[in-house]
Structure 1
C-alpha cells in the first residue's frame, strides 16, 4: 500500500501550481497588506517546518528589500510577559495548522499595535487566522502524514511570492517568470532525482549526523535535519559551514555522516569546502545538488536532474525534495511507519 507520505510528496507540483494560479494575481494586494516601502523591518514567527521556511524568508526578504528581517522569540510574550515595540514593522506568522498558542500570541500582539500582522497558514479558520490582519491561505488540502512535505514547500513558495511583493515592482515580471517554472522543476526533482537509495544505505546505520547548508538554503539544511530526525529516529544536527567550523567540527569522524546541500546558488561554494573538510576528517560525506555543481565532490552524490533547475533564489523549493525522499527511504529501511513515526502527532501546540 502506498504511504500517505509518498502520495503527499508526489502531490507537491500540483499544489504549487494551484498556489501560483491563486496568488500571482494578488501580488499588488500583498504589497499593500505588508505596507511595502513604508516599513523599516520585518519580524517572522513560526515553529517546526514553518520555522525552516521562515529562515529562507530571512535571507530572501532582506535581499529583496535591504531591510532587517528577524525571527521572533515567542517566549518573550508567553513566558516572560514582555511587550515588544513593533512600530514600523510588519509581522508574518507561518503555521500550517494555525494552532500553536505561542505563534498566535506574537501575531495578536502585532495586531494590537496596529502593524501588519499576516498569517501564512493551511487553516484559514484557525486561531492564528482569527488574529491576523490578512491571511495567505496555502490551500494545500489536508496533509495527513505527520511529516510536513507539501505544506512545507507551499510555505516556501508563499515566502517567495511575498518576496516579490516586497521588492521593486519594476522587477516583478522577471521574478514572476522564474516562479512559473517552479511546479515543473519540483516535479522533475520528485521523479528524476538519483542516488537516493545509495545515500540511504549510508545513513541507515548511524544514529547521529550533521546536515549542512548556507544562505538561502540554510533553511533546507534545517528542514532536512528535522525530516531525518522525526522520521528515522537519528539525531541530525543542522549547521551552516561557519557554525560547524566554530567548534562542532571536532565531532566529525567515521561514525558521523555529513549531509550537505549545494544547489546552484552562490552560498554553495563554502558548503563544498566544508564537504572536503568532512572527508578529510573521515566522515562519510553525502552531497545533494546538480551534477555540474557537485560532480567533483568525493562521497555519495544525490543528483538533482537538469530539468529541476530554477533561478538561484528559488533553489530551496527543489533542493528539499531529495531530503524528503532520503528521510523516507532511511525510515523504511529501519521499519518505521513513515506516516506515524516516533509517537508524534500532526499538530504540536507550544506555549
Structure 2
C-alpha cells in the first residue's frame, strides 16, 4: 500500500487536513483584506447598487446562496444568481445600469464565469471577486479583488476555500452595513472554527453509512450550507442527496419522507431555525432517521452545534460537517480526495 493510500486508510486525508486549516485561513483573509474591505464598504455606502448579481458554480455558488441571504437581510438589496450560459452560450447583452457583480471562484479561470463577469462589467457593473488564485484572470479583471487566502487545495473536494468564501461575504457585509455585532462575531470566528473541528458527529456517520438517498434541510443563512452538504455527499460519499429549504420541502418533496428515510438538518438559533426544527420534528414523528444540528441546543439535536451570531452558526456547522463527511466517505469505501470522474478545476464554457 502506497503512502497516500495508507494515509487515507488511517483517516488523515487531504480533505480532513485542509478542512482543519479553515481557522488559520480566516485569520489570514481578515488580516490581509482589512483595508480593501473597508474601502469597498465605503464605496458601496456612497453608491448603493440598484441590483446585485452573483456569478459562481459548484461550492462557490452555494457560498453565493449564503451571501444572498446575508446581503438581503442586512443591506436590503435583492440579489440574483447569474446563469453563465447567458453570456457564454447565448452571448446575450446585459442591460446597463447601476449594479454590483460578485464573482466567487477558487481558480478564477472558468471561461463561462469570465465571460459572464465581462458582460456585466461592460454594462456598467462594479465587479468584486472573491478568488483564491490572485494571479488568475478573474483577479485581474475585477475592480476589487478579495483574496481568499486559502492556499493550495489539493483535495478535489473544496473545504477551506468554501469556508473562506462564506467569510468573505461576512467581512464585506459587516463593513458595508457597519454592523458591530457581525464584526465582533467575525473576530471570534477562528477560535470557534477550531472548536467546531472537535465536535463529535459520529451519530451521522452511523446513520448514513448504508444510506442510498437523503434530504438536507436548511433555511435562511443555513440554506447555502445545506446545498454544499448535499454536493459533498454526492462527490465524496457516492450518496445521492438533495438540498431543500425547510419551507420548500413542504411543497411536495416531504411526501417521500417516511420511516427510515434519512434527513440531515441545519437549524440556526433564529426564526429561520425554528422552521427547520419544526420540519425535523415532523419528520421524526414519521420515524425518519433524523440528524439535526441545532445551534439553539436544549437537547433537540443529536449533532452538537456551537451557538453564536445566527449568520456565523452555519459556518461553524459546515466545519463540523466536513470532518463527518470525510469519515463517512471512508466508511463507505470511497476516497474523498479523488472522487470518480471529477477534477479540481472544471472549465465550463
Give the TM-score of the pair, scaled to structure 1. Answer: 0.92
Aligned residue runs from structure 1 range 124-135, under 5 A: 124-135=134-145
* Residue 213 to residue 222, structure 1, CA distance change in 2 (3 Å): same
Deviations 1:68-89 (CA, angstroms, capped at 9, x unpaired): 1111111211222221214111
TM-aligned CA deviation for residue 42 of structure 1 = 0.9
Task: Work out the CA distance in 1 between the residues paired with 2:185 and 2:223.
Answer: 21
TM-aligned CA deviation for residue 327 of structure 1 = 1.2
Q: Among 231, 235, 257, which residue is 1:230 paired with?
A: 235
Aligned residue runs from structure 1 range 1-351, under 5 A: 1=7, 2-32=12-42, 34=44, 37-167=47-177, 169=178, 171=179, 173-191=180-198, 193-194=199-200, 196-290=201-295, 292-293=296-297, 295-296=299-300, 301-304=302-305, 308-351=306-349
The DSSP-based 3-state class of the residue aligned with 1:303 is coil
Deviations 1:293-333 (CA, angstroms, capped at 9, x unpaired): 36135xxx1102xxx43211222210111221221111010
Native 8 Å contact 2:16 2:322 kept in 1? no
The size of the alignment, in residue pairs, is 339
Native 8 Å contact 1:43 1:70 kept in 2? yes
Native 8 Å contact 1:121 1:137 kept in 2? yes
Task: Work out the CA distance in 2 between the residues paired with 1:36 and 1:103.
Answer: 28
Native 8 Å contact 2:266 2:314 kept in 1? no
Please, which runs of 5 or more residues in structure 1 have no aligned partner?
Answer: none
Give the CA RMSD over aligned residues. 1.7
TM-aligned CA deviation for residue 35 of structure 1 = 6.2
The DSSP-based 3-state class of the residue aligned with 1:260 is strand
Task: Work out the CA distance in 2 between the residues paired with 1:146 and 1:262.
Answer: 28
Please, which runs of 5 or more residues in structure 2 have no aligned partner?
Answer: 1-6
Task: Work out the CA distance in 1 between the residues paired with 2:27 and 2:270.
Answer: 23
Native 8 Å contact 2:98 2:124 kept in 1? no
TM-aligned CA deviation for residue 255 of structure 1 = 4.5
Deviates more, 1:225-234 or 1:341-350: 341-350
Give the TM-score of the pair, scaled to structure 2. Answer: 0.92
Deviations 1:182-213 (CA, angstroms, capped at 9, x unpaired): 0001110002x12x122101101011100000
Native 8 Å contact 1:46 1:94 kept in 2? yes
